[in-house]
Each structure stands twice: as structure tokens, then as C-alpha cells.
Amino acid sequence: MHAHRISDFNNLRGFISRSALNILLLEKKKGEQVGIEVVKCGCVLKRTHGIPNTHEVTQYKCEGHSILLTSIHQRWRQLSDVPMNISKRSLDCTRVISLVRNRFEDATEEQQCMLLRGLLELAQPSTTNMEQPSTNVIRKGRPSNKKASSQAKNNTKRDPSPVGSAHTGKEQTTQQSSTTSKRRTREPTKNIVCKRRRTILQLKDLTEEELFEEVLDLFDPKIKEHIIERLENVAPDGHCGYRCCAELLNMSKDDGWKNVRQGMLDELRDHRDLYMTQLGGRKNYKKVERALNYFISTCSKKYWMQFPEMGCLFATTFNCVLCVLDPKQYTTYLPLRIGPINEPNIISIVLYDDIHFLKAFLKPNAPIPKVVPGWDHLRYPDANEWKNYVSHKFAEWEALIGYPPI
């Protein structure tokens, strides 16, 4: 098929079935929406079909090479016309029998009889003492009216105890009504255990200490203890991600978010080929471009700051290290084109409830999470110097915090 004649399938054409290639083609098209984000991908296909997931197919494309044949399960490989000679496995029972013999010798007389009876049933199933049930088995399903009424008469589930059966009907009625009233007035457990999250509008009324506790309760306790020193809120107008980054770069609190948007938009357009590869195609590139090119005071979700799509773009634009802390995922973004100059900034933002960003101020010499996957394959040679600057911080994070399960 002509649709399969693409560079991504160079290692697969002629070696796996067309059905597998069609599935991979659908995953490749889906990758334009998902990108390399594991959470959006869901990672189901690898477990069910033995074929790379959407984010893995996109990552192969970002790294610049075709999908490997070894990543495809054996059942999809090309079938052979030559019959296979399946050799019978030779199993040795000597060790198991030796263990049974040792167990038999150490057992008591009663245990020896039970062992011998069990071994005899394995060797000759006809010698078993088990028999078919003599009564008819009632299968599952809704019983008929006659059966239901007879079962209700014979049902003893709600019968009182022998002591309670001596009470008069009046006493029993009083006891049941008392139990019912207690059941009605009991406080539901759910209201005690569950803690309701505050809305982003309620966050602005909290003190700095209350904000710190409210947001970081969603994270690993070690984050609060060893990583973040304090949090600061920004206006929840849809530009919160850009506002956080602008204020952490000492830009204006009023219009700094516009400068961040414009700088990232210029970087995206000036190095179109680089970011087209990083984002996994033209469609994702245009989506990010439209999201950045928006300068009205309030905005909807499609114009928010998006990760991981905009992480390396922001870090490259302002030549800094960006840490994004989310209860589901901890990620660091590094510049793609140039190395560190003087003492570069390490800025950090926190995502609350998947809808609002806050400024995070790290403790002195705090570790940071590992870099986003694919950075090492996309970066320019000059950007490799960032490894010397932050690699020890990655190792400290992994030893101290680790990463949430995916």
C-alpha cells in the first residue's frame, strides 16, 4: 500500500503484516494530537497488541529514525511457508519427586497418609473421593414469584437472636424503629474523610502559609520538606502560566506575560524546522503558534500555557531552566540551541488541580527533576553544556524524591 511507503516504516515493510502497519499508521496520525506526553497517550496498545504506543511512535519521529523491528511483537512478523519443527520440551521431575520424598520422610503418620492419598489421586483420578452433588444446583438469575415467596418465608437473615425472640411484637417494633432512627441520624463517613479542594478563586483569599499547605498537600511530602520554600499566587485569567514565568524573570506584573508570549512566538517562527520536529508535525506546530498569538486580557483553555509542548520553547527563548511540578509528573525543560551564560536562572512553577499555575521559589541548592524525554536528541551541540550544570541536581532528585508512577 502507498500509505505504508514512508520513512517511519523503513525497518518494517515486508517484515510485519499489513494489519500491524495500518494500526501503526493510525497511531502516527494520533501522535499529531498527543505528541510525546505519556498521560495523554494512555499506553494501552503495547499491552493489548504488542505494538508501540502513540507517544513512542512520535518519539521515534522526534529522534529522527524509523520504528525498530524489535519493538513489534513476534505475532505480527512475516509468516513463513516452511513448517516449523517444534521440538518437545524435556522436563525432569527428579528434583520435584526428591522434594516430595523428603517431605514424606519428615512428616507424621497422618500427614504421610494425606500425601499418599493426594499423590494417588494425581496418578489415578478415578480413585478420588469427590462425588457429584446429589441435589440440583440453583443457577444464578432472578427467581420466579413462587420461589421468591418461599425463600422469603424460609429466610433467616433478619431473624432476631434467641434472646430477642422472647420479646413481644410491640417490643420488637420499638427496637426496630429505634435502630432505624439511629441509622438516619448517623453522620456520613465521607464528609469526615474527604477534603474538598478550593477553587482557584478561593486561593487568592489565603495567606502565604495557607496557600503553601493547600497546594502542596497534593504532592509528595518530601517536596514540601526539601524542595519548595514558598509559593506565590497570580491572577487566574488564563494567562497564569505566562504571568508566573514573567514575574520569576523580573518582568512587569501587568504586561510581562505579553512579553513572554511575544518572545516565545518569535523564537517559534525563527526556528520553524527545529520546533516542527520537536512538536511532531505541522498540525501541532500551528496549534502552539495559535495558542501563543493571543494578547487579550482573558483567554480560554486553548490559549493557556501548554506542557510539554511549550517547555523547551520557553527555556530556549529566555535561556533558563524551567521546572514544572505537577502531582502527576515532575519535569525539567532545558534550552535546545545555546548553552548556559554566566549563572542562568532556574525557575519553577506548580500546577494546581490541572487548571492554574503558581510561582514556586525553591530552597537553596534544591535538586530538580530529570529533563523531558527527547531533549538529548533534539538539542544543538552547544546546548550539551547544560548537562554539566544540572546533571548532579537530577541525580539528587532521583535519590531524594523519585518520580510518581505512570
One-letter amino acid for residue 300 of the chain: S
- Average confidence (pLDDT) over 209-230: 87
- Average confidence (pLDDT) over 218-223: 87
- Average confidence (pLDDT) over 395-402: 86
pLDDT at 168: 45
Going by their DSSP bridges, the two strands 228-232 and 329-333 should be labelled as unpaired
Its pTM stands at 0.53
What percent of the chain clears pLDDT 70, i.e. is strictly above it? 70
Which class in CATH covers the domain with range 205-401?
A: alpha beta
Range of weakest confidence among 71-80, 258-267, 342-351: 71-80
Q: Are 353 and 200 in contact (CB under 8 A)?
A: yes
Q: At what angle do helices 256-270 and 311-318 cross, to 10 degrees?
A: 100
Mean pLDDT of the chain: 78
- Would you say residue 333 has pLDDT above 80? yes
- Angstrom CA distances, 17 to 30, 48, 69, stand at 20, 17, 12
pLDDT at 151: 56
Instruction: Tell me the domain boundaries of the chain.
Output: 12-76, 205-401
What percent of the chain clears pLDDT 90, i.e. is strictly above it? 25
- Would you say residue 341 has pLDDT above 80? yes
- Nearest Cα residue to 301 out of 265, 259, 355: 355
- Would you say residue 124 has pLDDT above 60? yes
pLDDT at 198: 62
Instruction: Give tens-digit pLDDT for 25-62.
Output: 787 777 776 676 666 676 776 667 777 777 777 777 77
pLDDT at 39: 62
Instruction: Give tens-digit pLDDT for 53-110.
Output: 777 777 777 766 777 767 777 777 665 666 666 666 777 888 888 989 988 888 888 8
Going by their DSSP bridges, the two strands 321-326 and 346-352 should be labelled as parallel
Q: Which residue has the higher pLDDT, 187 or 317?
A: 317
Round the CA-based radius of gyration of the chain to a whole number and report it: 33
Instruction: Give tens-digit pLDDT for 271-296.
Output: 999 999 999 889 999 999 999 999 98
